[in-house]
Structure 1
């Protein structure tokens, strides 16, 4: 059951499995993609919550919520004269509650923030006449069919990696497709150069980190965008919300 896997992942991360259980879990983790996702989700949620509930008052509120969840959903079962002590499980029940809270409260907020500040550049092609591959890529990109745009742009980028327009929109497409390592390789080169896409590239890199829940690197890249550039106002607004 899904709930069993969530709690098992929480107990593993919380260090509450004995050696035999831990080894068994690790073996299952090698092939169970759903279990792998729960472990990754927990780690991400835990880090997000550390940052999101930073001050003492918020930590107290979170602790109160966890205690309430424990009392409400994991009370002693006295039906049919059966009494179950849950003291050994309070820790990992709370960990599971953290996972649930992180996924259902923080993550939607983060996704909404990404969508709100997402790069709204339209790919404009100045060359006119016979329809070119660049025209096709632009049409796909502007209709947010980033997978199709990326296929064409990848070929164009191979032919001319110094073309700033191709590089920027290829990197942006890869960002939307969550191919972040490849996107960073392309966009960081642009951000280090002097093309008209220099600061658009920096802004897109910042958003890629936001999309990946990395607020520290997101801030670092937003701070690289100077006043007077097209993305400065948005960058400053986003910095205030992080």
Structure 2
């Protein structure tokens, strides 16, 4: 678990290589438990970032965590017993304190968009293997270049107006660019039709409302997510905060 926390931290600080970033996004897309753990860590990370006033304390915390982790993973098996105990005890106490503070501080705070948004990698070139435009859209989206992604996705929609997948990720890109009216119109249209993208569109639409701090609309939209869908598992922590 410790190395997973370090992986989350590297992702949030843009320290992953292109290959590592692709692998991370694929795991988030395919592993619900991994995604939920990442969301929880991300929310805690954002809390610390916004509430710890002394930057040197946060830097010291990360330095000590990395140092302890490096010691743990670099020791030969025969000498790990004491290191395992020390690191496990250190990590357990540390994260217990962090989550205790987080739960106390955030119990009265409104949820934030940054704490709940996730970036699922998209794969639209499988069905468009000879389409250079689709490749550009996919690469831009997966590397969080949403300005370029929105441009390419818009062009793809002009070529294929019935492609719901293009519209879905175009809508999400627009949320990232704060073009809420256009995003909400597109996602609302998808969410009102029965398709494989219905619940994903509802989830993205709720995130749009969350980013706009329209909490009542966000809550109302979340209630429409199918309880048997993967998106409902993502939505449950947010639903609990909006009660």
What's the TM-score once normalised by structure 2's chain length? 0.52
The residue that corresponds to 2:196 in the other structure is 196
Q: 2:21 maps to which residue? A: none
CA shift for structure 1 position 190? 0.6
Residue aligning to 1:177? 177
Q: Which residue of 2 aligns with 1:115?
A: 114
Return the offset for 1:214: 0.5
CA apart distance, 1:227: 1.1
Match of 2:127 in 1: 127
Question: What is the Cα deviation at residue 161 of structure 1?
Answer: 2.4
CA drift at 1:128: 5.9
Displacement of 1:110 in angstroms is 5.2
For residue 207 of structure 1, report the CA deviation from its aligned partner: 0.5
> In the alignment, does 2:201 pair up with 1:210?
no
Q: Secondary structure at the match of 1:231?
A: helix
- The answer to whether the Cα contact below 8 Å between 1:202 and 1:225 also exists between their aligned partners in 2 is yes
Partner deviation per Cα, 1:108-148 (whole Å, 9 max, x = no partner):
x657x312210432111223644521111010001000000
CA distance in 2, matches of 1:131, 1:156: 10
1:129 to 1:154, Cα distance in 2 relative to 1, 3 A: closer
Give aligned pairs, total: 135
Greater Rg by CA: 1
Structure 1, unaligned runs of 5 or more: 1-104
Equivalent-residue separation in structure 1 for 2:215 and 2:110 (angstroms): 10
Q: 1:202 touches 1:221 (CA, 8 Å); kept in 2?
A: yes
Q: Hey, what's the Cα distance between the residues in 2 that align with 1:148 and 1:123?
A: 15
**Equivalences for 1:84-123 in 2 at 5 Å?**
113-123=112-122
- 2:158 counterpart of 1:158: yes
RMSD over aligned CA atoms reads 2.0
Q: TM-score, normalised by structure 1?
A: 0.52
Moved more, 232-241 or 207-216: 232-241
Asked whether the 8 Å contact 2:128–2:134 carries over to 1, the reply is no
Is this contact kept in 2: 1:110–1:211, CA < 8 A? no
* SS at 1:178 equivalent: coil
**What is the match of residue 42 of structure 1?**
none
Q: Distance in 1 between matches of 2:239 and 2:198?
A: 19
Separation in 2 of the partners of 1:128 and 1:165?
12
Q: 1:110 to 1:149 in 2, by over 3 A?
A: farther
Please name the residue that 2:93 is paired with: none
Separation of aligned partners in 2, 1:134 and 1:207: 25
Contact 2:203 2:222 in 1 (8 A): yes
Whole-Å Cα distance in 2 between the matches of residues 232 and 210 of structure 1? 16
Q: Structure 2: which 5+ runs fail to align?
A: 1-104
